[in-house]
Structure 1
Amino acid sequence: MTNPAPDVMYGEQSLFRFLVLNAPTQIRPVSFDDDALELPELTTTDMPVTVATVARDTPNMYGTPTSGSNGPTSWAKPKPGQGSWTVSLSGNVQPTAPERAAMKALQEARGRYIWVERRPDQETVNEGGCALVTSTGKPIPADGPVTFSAGLTGYGKHFTDTSTAV
């Protein structure tokens, strides 16, 4: 049974879970499903994955093209290199005690490794992996809800399906 693709996908029911680790790992923790903390009141999350490029050929870049030419005569031919990924998230300060405890656990994990997974509610596959919590914040606007934010830097592989991280 397949569901038809929605016209517009919303993230309002997305699932974002994490588990603080004692050491970095490329294997999904066995206890993740039982012990992971959830952040249900996020307003945005982003998990961009980038691939660096390695250019073996050096293009002519010094100076400017001669008059009448159409630009450089040599162009780099980059090859894919090392990949990296990050996570940024923000949300409203959590309304219930268990949700606030999860928010505080993420804030207190700054400088530590976590296993993180996220997915939109209508999907069944989680993406993520091991990441270092590199920043946390608590923006306090004058006339809006108090929010929190965090930034993570991936450690090793980003898994498009974390069930394969075994």
Structure 2
Amino acid sequence: MPQLDTIYGETSVFRFLILDAPTQVRPANFDQAALELPELTTSDMPVTIATTTRDIPRMYGTPTSANSGPTSWAKPAPGQGSWTVSLSGNVQPTEAQRAAMEALYAARGRYVWVERRMNADDTNEGGCALVTSTGKPIPADGVVTFTATLTGWGRHFPDTRQAV
């Protein structure tokens, strides 16, 4: 694995396949049919665990001053998980790369199977996601700035080989 200070966003591989319906199973044709986004400057795939607490926490006693705060604190428990994907890049795309960016742009409001990995890794992370926002890739002096955001639908797979 490369040194952390030498890893850049453009060394990641980001592929997607537009779906007819959401799924928690990796599409059988993903490796053959997936489109790849080129030279991403950044890609992030944070996973969040929500917390559940009591509707109204019990308060014991009264704070002794305005700055002392409550005397009882909520004890959150893990709840549902969620995940998102954000992408951006400044690229000079080939025709195939531009076609992939435009396909993702046109997929806003649709489900996609998405996978991301660093170039030096052999494990893809991802799953099914809804394309929630895209920026129209318009060149400025030959460079295209591309952005997209996806919201995970169901489970995030740290290794998409588990999505069977």
TM-score (norm 1): 0.86
Task: Rate the CA distance shift 1:41–1:69 in 2: closer, same or farther, 3 A.
Answer: closer
Distance apart, 1:37 and its partner CA: 0.3
- Cα RMSD (Å): 2.5
2:10 to 12, 15, 32: 12
> Residue 160 of structure 1 is aligned with which of 155, 158, 161?
158
Give the CA deviation at 1:42. 1.1
Match of 1:80? 78
* Residues 140, 66 of structure 1: alpha-carbon distance in 2 compared, 3 angstrom cutoff: farther
CA drift at 1:140: 6.0
Distance 1:67 1:87, change over 3 A: same
**Secondary structure, counterpart of 1:110 in structure 2:** coil
Q: Which residue of 1 aligns with 2:43?
A: 45
Report the TM-score, using the length of structure 2 for normalisation. Answer: 0.87
Aligned residues with identical type, % of pairs:
71
User: What does the per-residue CA deviation read over 1:23-81, in whole Å, with 9 as the maximum and x for residues that have no partner?
Assistant: 000000000001000012211111111010001374467xx822298432101000000
Q: Is the 8 A contact 2:24 2:163 kept in 1?
A: yes
> Cα–Cα, structure 1 residues 13 and 102, in superposed 2: closer, same or farther, change >3 Å?
same
Q: Residue 151 of structure 1: which of 130, 149, 152 is its match?
A: 149
One-letter amino acid of the counterpart of residue 115, structure 2: E
* Alpha-carbon distance in structure 2 between the residues aligned to 1:119 and 1:49: 15
- 1:33 corresponds, among 9, 31, 37, to 31
* Secondary structure at 1:85 match in 2: strand
Give the alignment partner of residue 89 of structure 2, picking from 88, 91, 96.
Answer: 91
Aligned to 2:119: 121
Q: Which ranges in structure 2 are unaligned for 5 or more consecutive residues? A: none
What's the secondary structure of 1:84's corresponding residue? strand
Provide structure 1 residue ranges, at least 5 long, that are not aligned to the other structure: none
Decide whether aligned partners of structure 1 residues 94 and 163 sit closer, same or farther in structure 2, where only a CA change above 3 A counts.
farther
**Cα separation, 2, equivalents of 1:142 and 1:125:** 35
